[in-house]
Structure 1
Amino acid sequence: MAGTEDEDLAPTEGLQTRAGDLGADAAGAAQAPGARLGRYRIETLLGRGGMGEVYRAGQLEPVRRTVAIKLLHARRLDARHLAYFEIERQLLAQMKHPAIAQVYDAGATPEGFPYFVMEFIEGSPLTSFCEQRGLPLRERLALFIRVCEGVQHAHQKGVIHRDLKPGNILVAEVDGRPLPKIIDFGIATAASRSLAAGERAGELERAGTPDYMSPEQAGMEGVEVDTRSDVYSLGVLLYELLAGRRPGVGDDTPAAAHTASTTVRPPSAQIETLAPGNAAARAGQLGLSQPRLRQVLRSELDWVVLKAMRRDRAERYSSAAELAQELQRFLDDQPLQAVPPSRRYALGKYLRRNRLAVAAAGAVSLAVLVGLGLSLYGLQQAREQRALAEQRSADLERVAAFQQSMLEDIDVEAMGLGIANGLRDQVGKADPDALAPLEQALAAASPADLARSLVGLEILESARETIARDFSDQPSLAAQLRRSVARVQLALGLHEQAETLFAEVAGYFAQTQGPAARETLEARNLQTEAMFWVRGSGQTLEAVEATLALAQSLPPGDPVRVETERQQARAVFAQGDRPRGLAMQQALLARERQMRAEDDPVLLDLAEDLGLSMGRMGEADEAREIFEDLFARRRQALGPEDPATLTTMGRLAVMRAIAEDVEAAVTLQRELAAVSERKFGAEHPRTLVERGNLANMLLSHRDFDEAEALMREVLEARQRLYGADSPGALRTKLNLAALLARRSRFDEALVMEADLLQARRRVLGPEHPDTVFVEVNHAATLHRANRPKPVVQAQIDRAKSLALDVLGKKHPQTEAIDRIQAYSDLRAGRWSEAVEQFKALREKGQAERKPGDPPKAQIGWGLATALERSGQPEEAARIRASDVDWLYERPEQALTADDRNALEIIAEEAGHLGKQR
């Protein structure tokens, strides 16, 4: 749901609060960024495991390169153990194989903790790579064979891995070919050998991951671990590549396979336990029909997996090489050793290997029987007809692919510039004197908006009708083309049309591939992304959770499943359950960090969601750090005007504004609004978001005239395009009301706030956080407008009750209503009540004040005034000297926006009391 209307954070709603510790991965790391380990400088913590921590580091000499360092925490090593460790280091460094991450170096920290320096690999875990790329069965097996070859190479060097799992086998594409790299090879072996004489040697022998661990490695067989333990782990990995889940997942008792008291369920049986439609979807992911997959597994690959995972290691494959050879025999249609021998099986393999020769012999025999001439004639006719049909189908697919690429490459910015330049050329040739008025008209118009309208009404609508008319007999191609049209509609902000078309696409895929098929779920995600703009978060959340129930069949880490979970967290947050939404985003990001490289686009999107929510919850400093980092990464990787870069740029500007770096925020936001208008058009939804944000920042910068004009333009466009009760229109109305109040135009502000309150109570409900914000703002405006005391007090009581119930005692809005109450008591002459209120506010401010920050002068002034009026002049003078005088002594050019706001508040309140300072 990128680019939703919730992005423009108004200063009236983007208020600071604490949402709890984020629980960053780096907390408690043994080595801080910048620390030195010999020739290496630590850069960042990559992850933790039972054996220690893994860091990304830079090698400083004799060459400069990025490396991974695994620091073991098992035990400090004495001199003898360090000697063992040095021997193991030499052993590991001898491994040279394309499928093994090279070990460069090893050593120990000054405290005696051992570490390994390894090749830094940027890739995805083995299972995630296969699922994300949709690798068919044969390509998966070919990739797995290369993994087995790497394991065999290590075994020949005398090294056992002991922890083979997807996270320790990273796959990256090199020159279009997947290349696996096994990491952490021999770490457990090295540690156990170096500590063999220590009291924890037995414990380290069992180091590994339970779900992939052999029975003997788990200590269940009473024998020492040898290379066949790695063969067992390879069997579990192969099981997961075939069935999409590990052995036992989905059973009533989710125990690891090696603890099972009975034979492990074969992959074919595991797939049959999937929900209806999911088994067919799994077959499609492997590039086979469901009957063909069932036949391949039951007749051959089930036997291979079960042999590799025998509880008795003597019955397993004797080596990783033997397992690789077995799989290569499968790919070559040779009989497998694991399959019980039979004539039928051997004959079937022979026929598949020699199918062309057998088919030719059969054709000859048939021709002899029924008449050679007639048979050959009929065969030739059939071949010609089939070839013609296949050629027509291929031509149609090429045309459809061309049309699809043309649709998705539409650039409204370039089209708008082309229209403008074409008008200039024509007018220049026909009437050069009319060029100046034309330039004025073009400056006031938006060529991108014109192009966007033409694309939507002429090209996309025409394409939709053409697809329905000309591709009715090609439903698969029609669905693909509809999806392309809908993607363009979504990018152009034509959300209602996009939602309708994505629903049609999802319906087709649900009928043909199943409701839980990957393409169906992907279309549902795009449908709900468009739906958010049209229907708001309520209906969107319901639709997302229905999709998520089906997406559970996809493996964790699958991009489609992650996107569905991401949409759920954002919708929960937008619905008003912000702590739960934030917690969901934190958990999702933490989980995906365990499976992805730090620059993975999915990971960056999740970090951006979290940063936005943290900003809304008041964690401005932490959110700004996230967006500063994301903006630099995306600008470098994608370019300065990529849509993802622009989205991050806008959120960074908002966080700078919340953090009170208003000058930097306005500068960045002006650039973004101009780029967005040029690229997408002045009335594109994301341009309206950026212009709304710019107006809010101008308000904070006290550029009131420009801010008001811009807010009114954005409000008019949002009401016209999306309706008066749309979330964006209501948010802009709130910001405009706040601006009018800042300019003391209270009659206009109060009317607007009253209308806004009715709309938010009707649309969101009276206890939604956004509704509560307006309740608090309305109380402030009534007080500032000096409305009758009973009216003001009634609104204060209502707003405070809601703030406490919905937002909590520590929320800034709750503090704001306490501040309004204190000033109201002061104006009403309730001196003792005002003293108590201001004292509590002052104590809270002192507790939260950072070193070097001045006291809150407006609170100090209120307390001093209340003390003075209640007959305590000495105490009032002391408070005034410590909390207020600094503000009046500060030079004019040194005053910040907050300082000027404080001076305005003091002047306004003093004016009502008839005395200033």
Structure 2
Amino acid sequence: MGDPRDFETLDAWFDRLLDAAPDERERTLADLRRDDPELADSLVALLTDVTASEGFLENEASAARDRMLAEMLTDDGWRPSGASPKDRCGETLGPYRLESVLGRGQKSVVYLARRADGEWDEQVAVKVLSRGVDTDDVLRRFLAERQIMTVLRHPHIGVMLDGGVTDDGLPYFAMEYIDGQPIDDWCREQALPLAGRLALVRSVCEAVAFAHRRLVVHRDIKPSNILVNRDRQVKLLDFGIAKWLDPQAQPGFSARTQHMVRPMTPAYAAPEQREGGPVSTATDVYQLGLLMVTLLCGVDRPRHAMGVDDRGAPQRRASTVATAANLPYPPAELRGDLDGIIHKALSADPEQRYGSAAELLADLDNYREHRAVQARTPGAAYMFGKFVRRRPLVTSAIAFALVALSVWALLVAHYNRQLQAEKAAALDALERAEETRNVLVRFMTEADPFNNEGSGADARIRDALAGADEIIGHELAGRPALQADLYGVVADVWDGLSEGEAAGQARRGELAALASLPDADPVRVLMSRHKLLNADASDLDTATFLAEIEKIRDTLARDWPDAVVERATVEKDLGYLHRRYGSPDVALAHTRAAVELLDTEPSPDPIQLSFALIDLGEQLAVDRQFDQAMTMMERALAIRLERLGETHAWTLTNRLQIASLLTDMGRLEEAIELYDALVPGYEQRLGPLHGQTVSVMNNHAMSLMGMGRYEEAEDVLSDVVARRRRAGGESSRSLADGLQNLGAIQLRLGMIDQAVVNLNTAAEIYQQVLLPGNPLLGYPHLTLASIHADRGDVDALIFHAGQAELLLQGNVPEHHPAWQKVHCLVGDAQLRQGQLEAGEARVRQGLAGFEAIPGMEARHLDECRAALARAGIAE
């Protein structure tokens, strides 16, 4: 067996037998024994050893196989070992006493243990490396698993609690004990419907996507490594053969080990794993595809069931291999989208699969929410069907209207025969009704891209609203009341999508239609003007913008005092704007007024009250009245939980604001824990590239930075920047914000060159997308000036400090922290140029301004003091 060709033959036969059913395996071995008894005996020995190694938390059958196959190439050949790992039951490792064996693997044993130090009572699972297999390579892999588990803290991943070394020098780690069942057994015993199984798959995808964001590929996703606990929660386990995507973080293995060992479970391995090629996040996607086949089709051998060929490509569709006898739903439910999703996940070429678990998760959400999936090529009928499923009330209303119109037409004909005198009027009414019907049909067939000429496969609301202005303006010409209603709805939707320009265009249409109505509601006109101002905010200077909204507020209070909700809305918006532009006292007064208007029993609009309470909480937090702020936030959350439920976007936003408040209160551990839970929620609700999802990640990074966990913060912000590039291109305002924050973090980490590049790029984007007078224009220059001050680059310091002063003067209040920093940096530049008197005065002005701001970070004051010290001036 020393010839590599023999190794390849043995390897191929072993893969084939592992995938075969027991009776088929026996027949194959019997036939093989007649032709090649030595090969048959070797295969039986391998299969026997692997079968004995199946265990809880670990199933490294493939790793054992490759080790044995490698040993068969040696001169001495291979003999099965009868040695078994030491039984450590009764031993104490750290604070844990080992009670019983949960499972034995090729290289480790997993024990059920209980905390024995008296601190508290807790059951855990302890994994201990076995004596006799503790080679350098195995030890490195075991320690790599332990290191990987320390960075993977997610609700659907088993949590590592502790680690150490036994008295006889073997490493171990303790993790939460999960009292549960493998996911396939759970689905079968609970007779879960399709929706329930898909929910479990989503949870697994969330866990794997989280690992991918931490640059970890699992490589061994299969039912035995996924448990469902008593709370019906999924737990992904066994990162024993996981791999770091970052080469510098990946544990090293010897050249021989890398060549000989291909860690995998053959039945769930991706083609590149079986061929010994490079693995990536797409490798996990393939395994997730096989997991979906197992769970959704009710089969035990997904590769065999799907007819996977030598390249790794499936030859059958999931809906055709699903076993009706094993499923509580008809296999036909898998036809269409789910067939397509599974087929894409199982593409033999990694480039043709979903790029990551997050992309697979997004397409599962598309299926669940009746949107077009990436895995299928859209056609008109397909897109129309999605629209109907996604908006059943709208389509039902349209269908009802069409039936009503038909009935009305029959009635008109009937009365025409009886009442010839009313013929003209009836025909005119029928013509108007038919015209309205045509508008609705046009809106559905043209505004919603149900054909191959659409901008993408997904009929999302942006596509559905494209061209709405033309349809409303032309098809409803002469019907201003209906035009105003439709324009208002379209504008509100664009507002919700943060599309200010499109919202402004629709809002102008609404105002124009209202202006032609002699009896238009004046309060509605005022609120439409108010919303238009918000949409056009970036095109107005600050003073004009605020003055126009103040006029609307005063008009409402004077002429329509009973318009409580509208008055509160304007007060709340004024509070937000004054806070944004640096006038906290004025902001607080406006926000309190909004709460007082709405805070009656019962409230005229509880949801609007929740918004006002949140704004008031944020204002109180700025004033460092943290306990009162938390009270406001929790009141708002109670309203939203009662009215909207746990998963509503506004409820998630409320929790996000509580996380931000916890950060301000210095309760950073609690904030980070809440952010960790919020990011998957936002990804599920809004998608991984949605602006709000990425903002949550940005806030998460800020909390990590507050804890001094700069490297983790830099990782998250790098992801933020990457997502914003994918979503908005290279010149979006949000990308500039992300680059500004990333540069600031990199400055803390000493990554100066990277920080300078990112901050310069942010400054360039701001110049392209912001109007003069926006304070954000100056912020990158402030940070760049600080960098060059530390570097001693006087020319760069002078330039960037001067730019910051030019861009911020008059655009932030005199007491704003950014303006104090301008004083210090400009003064520093003057001192370095020999302008000692002027420079000292500016630095001292900035220093005094910083000292007057409660809670100001010491580093800002230290920078000012350092400028004086460099010039030899005593503080």
User: Shorter-chain TM-score: what band?
Assistant: 0.3 to 0.5
TM-score (norm 2): 0.41
Q: Which has the higher contact order (CA 8 A, sep 6+)?
A: 1
TM-score (norm 1): 0.39
